[in-house]
Structure 1
Amino acid sequence: MVTCECVHVIVSAPRGNQSEHRHETRAGRRTGAANHPRAEDLEDAATLLRALGNRLRLAVITILEDGPQCVHELVEALDVEQPLVSQHLRILRSVDLVRTERRGKEVVYSLADHHVAHIVRDAITHTQETQEKK
Protein backbone atom coordinates (compact mmCIF):
# COMPACT_ATOMS: atom_id res chain seq x y z
CA MET A 1 0.00 0.00 0.00
CA VAL A 2 1.23 3.46 -0.83
CA THR A 3 0.97 6.23 1.73
CA CYS A 4 -1.47 8.89 0.64
CA GLU A 5 0.11 12.07 -0.68
CA CYS A 6 -2.92 14.27 -0.10
CA VAL A 7 -3.53 16.94 2.47
CA HIS A 8 -6.90 17.19 4.21
CA VAL A 9 -8.22 20.73 4.00
CA ILE A 10 -11.30 21.71 5.96
CA VAL A 11 -12.64 25.16 5.20
CA SER A 12 -15.14 26.48 7.74
CA ALA A 13 -18.04 28.49 6.41
CA PRO A 14 -19.52 31.48 8.25
CA ARG A 15 -22.80 31.36 10.20
CA GLY A 16 -22.95 27.60 10.61
CA ASN A 17 -23.14 26.79 6.92
CA GLN A 18 -21.62 23.49 5.92
CA SER A 19 -17.87 23.40 5.89
CA GLU A 20 -16.07 22.21 2.80
CA HIS A 21 -13.82 19.16 3.12
CA ARG A 22 -11.52 18.60 0.20
CA HIS A 23 -8.27 16.86 -0.56
CA GLU A 24 -5.30 18.56 -2.11
CA THR A 25 -2.13 16.98 -3.36
CA ARG A 26 1.16 17.84 -1.70
CA ALA A 27 1.85 20.07 -4.69
CA GLY A 28 -1.32 22.02 -3.87
CA ARG A 29 -3.45 20.94 -6.83
CA ARG A 30 -7.00 20.23 -5.86
CA THR A 31 -8.23 16.74 -6.67
CA GLY A 32 -11.69 16.36 -8.09
CA ALA A 33 -13.63 16.55 -11.34
CA ALA A 34 -10.76 18.06 -13.31
CA ASN A 35 -8.49 15.29 -12.13
CA HIS A 36 -10.40 12.03 -12.68
CA PRO A 37 -8.77 8.92 -11.19
CA ARG A 38 -7.59 6.10 -13.40
CA ALA A 39 -9.66 2.90 -13.57
CA GLU A 40 -7.05 0.89 -11.66
CA ASP A 41 -6.98 3.53 -8.90
CA LEU A 42 -10.76 3.30 -8.62
CA GLU A 43 -10.52 -0.49 -8.39
CA ASP A 44 -7.86 -0.22 -5.67
CA ALA A 45 -10.07 2.21 -3.75
CA ALA A 46 -13.04 -0.14 -4.12
CA THR A 47 -10.94 -3.01 -2.74
CA LEU A 48 -9.91 -0.88 0.23
CA LEU A 49 -13.51 0.17 0.93
CA ARG A 50 -14.72 -3.44 0.68
CA ALA A 51 -12.09 -4.41 3.26
CA LEU A 52 -13.40 -1.67 5.55
CA GLY A 53 -17.01 -2.71 4.97
CA ASN A 54 -17.53 -4.46 8.29
CA ARG A 55 -18.30 -3.07 11.75
CA LEU A 56 -15.58 -5.13 13.47
CA ARG A 57 -12.92 -4.17 10.95
CA LEU A 58 -13.84 -0.50 11.38
CA ALA A 59 -13.54 -0.96 15.14
CA VAL A 60 -10.12 -2.59 14.74
CA ILE A 61 -8.92 0.41 12.74
CA THR A 62 -10.14 2.86 15.40
CA ILE A 63 -8.47 0.83 18.17
CA LEU A 64 -5.18 0.55 16.27
CA GLU A 65 -5.29 4.30 15.67
CA ASP A 66 -4.32 4.63 19.35
CA GLY A 67 -1.32 2.34 18.93
CA PRO A 68 -0.24 -1.26 18.32
CA GLN A 69 -2.23 -4.07 19.94
CA CYS A 70 -1.82 -7.81 20.45
CA VAL A 71 -4.64 -10.09 19.34
CA HIS A 72 -5.72 -10.76 22.93
CA GLU A 73 -6.01 -7.00 23.53
CA LEU A 74 -8.19 -6.64 20.44
CA VAL A 75 -10.33 -9.60 21.56
CA GLU A 76 -10.87 -7.91 24.92
CA ALA A 77 -11.58 -4.49 23.43
CA LEU A 78 -14.02 -5.86 20.84
CA ASP A 79 -15.61 -8.42 23.18
CA VAL A 80 -15.67 -11.13 20.52
CA GLU A 81 -13.98 -14.51 20.12
CA GLN A 82 -10.33 -14.71 19.08
CA PRO A 83 -10.92 -16.65 15.82
CA LEU A 84 -13.29 -13.91 14.62
CA VAL A 85 -10.76 -11.18 15.40
CA SER A 86 -8.03 -13.15 13.61
CA GLN A 87 -10.27 -13.59 10.55
CA HIS A 88 -10.87 -9.84 10.31
CA LEU A 89 -7.19 -9.06 10.88
CA ARG A 90 -6.33 -11.40 7.98
CA ILE A 91 -8.64 -9.41 5.71
CA LEU A 92 -7.10 -6.10 6.80
CA ARG A 93 -3.60 -7.52 6.27
CA SER A 94 -4.52 -8.81 2.81
CA VAL A 95 -5.04 -5.23 1.63
CA ASP A 96 -2.06 -3.85 3.57
CA LEU A 97 -4.12 -1.83 6.04
CA VAL A 98 -2.46 -3.41 9.06
CA ARG A 99 0.98 -4.86 9.59
CA THR A 100 2.38 -7.28 12.13
CA GLU A 101 5.46 -7.49 14.27
CA ARG A 102 6.42 -10.47 16.39
CA ARG A 103 7.35 -9.66 19.99
CA GLY A 104 8.36 -12.88 21.66
CA LYS A 105 5.38 -15.21 21.48
CA GLU A 106 2.92 -12.45 20.62
CA VAL A 107 2.03 -10.90 17.29
CA VAL A 108 1.43 -7.16 17.52
CA TYR A 109 -0.82 -5.44 14.99
CA SER A 110 -0.53 -1.81 13.93
CA LEU A 111 -1.86 0.42 11.18
CA ALA A 112 0.24 0.27 8.04
CA ASP A 113 -0.89 3.78 7.14
CA HIS A 114 -2.64 6.13 9.54
CA HIS A 115 -4.46 7.75 6.63
CA VAL A 116 -6.96 4.88 6.71
CA ALA A 117 -7.94 5.91 10.25
CA HIS A 118 -8.89 9.32 8.84
CA ILE A 119 -11.11 7.62 6.26
CA VAL A 120 -12.86 5.65 9.01
CA ARG A 121 -13.21 8.71 11.26
CA ASP A 122 -14.59 10.76 8.34
CA ALA A 123 -17.14 8.02 7.59
CA ILE A 124 -18.22 7.90 11.24
CA THR A 125 -18.48 11.70 11.41
CA HIS A 126 -20.50 11.74 8.19
CA THR A 127 -23.00 9.19 9.49
CA GLN A 128 -23.33 11.07 12.78
CA GLU A 129 -23.98 14.33 10.94
CA THR A 130 -26.52 12.61 8.71
CA GLN A 131 -28.34 11.21 11.75
CA GLU A 132 -28.41 14.65 13.40
CA LYS A 133 -30.15 16.13 10.34
CA LYS A 134 -33.00 13.62 10.52
Structure 2
Amino acid sequence: MASGPELTTDGELIADVHDPGRHTAPVPLPRPDVMAAAGELLRALSAPLRIAIVLQLREGPRCVHELVDALGVAQPLVSQHLRVLKSSHVVSAHRQGREIRYELLDDHLLHIVEAAVGHAGEG
Protein backbone atom coordinates (compact mmCIF):
# COMPACT_ATOMS: atom_id res chain seq x y z
CA MET A 1 0.00 0.00 0.00
CA ALA A 2 1.52 3.31 -1.09
CA SER A 3 1.44 6.17 1.31
CA GLY A 4 1.46 9.85 0.52
CA PRO A 5 3.87 12.47 1.81
CA GLU A 6 4.25 12.85 5.56
CA LEU A 7 2.36 15.74 7.06
CA THR A 8 2.60 17.56 10.40
CA THR A 9 -0.42 17.70 12.69
CA ASP A 10 -1.16 21.08 11.09
CA GLY A 11 -1.28 19.46 7.64
CA GLU A 12 2.03 20.93 6.46
CA LEU A 13 4.41 18.84 4.41
CA ILE A 14 7.42 17.48 6.34
CA ALA A 15 10.63 18.11 4.43
CA ASP A 16 12.64 15.04 3.46
CA VAL A 17 15.90 15.31 5.41
CA HIS A 18 17.58 13.20 2.73
CA ASP A 19 16.70 15.66 -0.02
CA PRO A 20 20.01 16.47 -1.75
CA GLY A 21 18.78 20.00 -2.36
CA ARG A 22 18.33 20.66 1.35
CA HIS A 23 21.36 21.99 3.18
CA THR A 24 21.65 22.86 6.83
CA ALA A 25 24.22 25.18 8.29
CA PRO A 26 26.96 23.51 10.34
CA VAL A 27 26.68 23.86 14.08
CA PRO A 28 29.42 26.11 15.50
CA LEU A 29 31.91 24.09 17.54
CA PRO A 30 34.23 25.10 20.37
CA ARG A 31 37.92 25.55 19.68
CA PRO A 32 39.90 22.31 19.14
CA ASP A 33 41.72 22.68 22.47
CA VAL A 34 38.39 22.94 24.30
CA MET A 35 37.09 19.85 22.47
CA ALA A 36 40.28 17.96 23.40
CA ALA A 37 39.93 18.98 27.05
CA ALA A 38 36.29 17.86 27.06
CA GLY A 39 37.36 14.50 25.64
CA GLU A 40 39.98 14.10 28.36
CA LEU A 41 37.43 14.94 31.01
CA LEU A 42 34.97 12.38 29.68
CA ARG A 43 37.72 9.75 29.53
CA ALA A 44 38.56 10.49 33.17
CA LEU A 45 34.92 9.92 34.09
CA SER A 46 34.56 6.78 31.97
CA ALA A 47 35.53 4.14 34.57
CA PRO A 48 32.74 2.83 36.83
CA LEU A 49 34.94 3.11 39.93
CA ARG A 50 35.74 6.75 39.15
CA ILE A 51 32.03 7.42 38.75
CA ALA A 52 31.47 5.81 42.16
CA ILE A 53 34.22 7.98 43.67
CA VAL A 54 32.62 11.14 42.28
CA LEU A 55 29.26 10.07 43.70
CA GLN A 56 30.87 9.44 47.12
CA LEU A 57 32.43 12.90 47.05
CA ARG A 58 29.14 14.68 46.39
CA GLU A 59 28.50 14.87 50.14
CA GLY A 60 31.89 16.45 50.81
CA PRO A 61 35.60 15.71 51.09
CA ARG A 62 36.75 12.17 51.89
CA CYS A 63 40.09 10.58 52.61
CA VAL A 64 41.24 7.42 50.87
CA HIS A 65 40.32 5.02 53.69
CA GLU A 66 36.76 6.42 53.77
CA LEU A 67 36.45 5.79 50.03
CA VAL A 68 37.93 2.30 50.40
CA ASP A 69 35.39 1.47 53.12
CA ALA A 70 32.46 2.93 51.16
CA LEU A 71 33.37 1.28 47.88
CA GLY A 72 34.69 -2.04 49.15
CA VAL A 73 37.78 -2.07 46.94
CA ALA A 74 41.50 -2.15 47.66
CA GLN A 75 43.29 1.03 48.69
CA PRO A 76 45.83 0.94 45.82
CA LEU A 77 42.98 0.78 43.31
CA VAL A 78 41.20 3.77 44.87
CA SER A 79 44.47 5.71 44.95
CA GLN A 80 45.13 4.92 41.29
CA HIS A 81 41.71 6.18 40.25
CA LEU A 82 42.05 9.27 42.43
CA ARG A 83 45.31 10.10 40.60
CA VAL A 84 43.45 10.00 37.28
CA LEU A 85 40.67 12.20 38.64
CA LYS A 86 43.18 14.63 40.13
CA SER A 87 45.26 14.90 36.95
CA SER A 88 42.04 15.55 35.00
CA HIS A 89 41.04 18.33 37.43
CA VAL A 90 37.95 16.50 38.63
CA VAL A 91 39.12 16.36 42.26
CA SER A 92 41.59 18.26 44.38
CA ALA A 93 43.63 16.93 47.27
CA HIS A 94 44.66 18.70 50.44
CA ARG A 95 46.43 17.47 53.52
CA GLN A 96 44.56 17.45 56.80
CA GLY A 97 46.83 16.20 59.56
CA ARG A 98 48.22 12.83 58.48
CA GLU A 99 45.56 12.28 55.82
CA ILE A 100 44.91 13.62 52.37
CA ARG A 101 41.31 14.58 51.72
CA TYR A 102 39.85 14.60 48.22
CA GLU A 103 36.99 16.78 47.06
CA LEU A 104 35.22 17.62 43.84
CA LEU A 105 36.51 20.72 42.15
CA ASP A 106 33.29 21.61 40.41
CA ASP A 107 29.60 20.78 40.83
CA HIS A 108 29.26 20.75 37.03
CA LEU A 109 31.23 17.50 37.00
CA LEU A 110 28.90 15.99 39.55
CA HIS A 111 25.93 16.96 37.39
CA ILE A 112 27.54 15.22 34.38
CA VAL A 113 28.02 12.02 36.39
CA GLU A 114 24.55 12.14 37.94
CA ALA A 115 22.96 12.75 34.53
CA ALA A 116 24.87 9.83 32.99
CA VAL A 117 23.94 7.50 35.86
CA GLY A 118 20.31 8.63 35.72
CA HIS A 119 20.16 8.14 31.97
CA ALA A 120 21.75 4.69 32.18
CA GLY A 121 19.29 3.71 34.91
CA GLU A 122 16.28 4.59 32.76
CA GLY A 123 16.85 1.75 30.29
Could you tell me the TM-score, scaled by structure 1's length?
0.70
Residue equivalent to 2:43: 50
Residue equivalent to 2:103: 110
Residue equivalent to 2:90: 97
One of 56, 77, 88 as aligned partner of 1:63: 56
Query: Any residues of structure 2 matched to 1:9-88 within 5 Å, and which?
Result: 34-88=27-81
1-side partners of 2:102 and 2:109: how far apart? 15
CA shift for structure 1 position 127: 1.1
Runs of 4+ in 1 over 4 A off after TM superposition: none
1:18-76, Cα deviation, whole Å (9 max, x unpaired): xxxxxxxxxxxxxxx74421211111100000111100000000110110001000000
2-side partners of 1:118 and 1:35: how far apart? 24
Q: Which has the larger radius of gyration?
A: 2
1-side partners of 2:119 and 2:69: how far apart? 28
Could you tell me the TM-score, scaled by structure 2's length?
0.76
CA shift for structure 1 position 106: 0.5
Q: Percent identity?
A: 49
Secondary structure of 1:102's counterpart equals strand
Secondary structure of 2:54's counterpart equals helix
Aligned-residue RMSD, C-alpha:
1.1
Question: Matched residue pairs, number?
Answer: 98
> Of Structure 1 and Structure 2, which has the larger fraction of its residues in strand?
1
* Unmatched tracts of structure 2, length 5 or more: 1-25
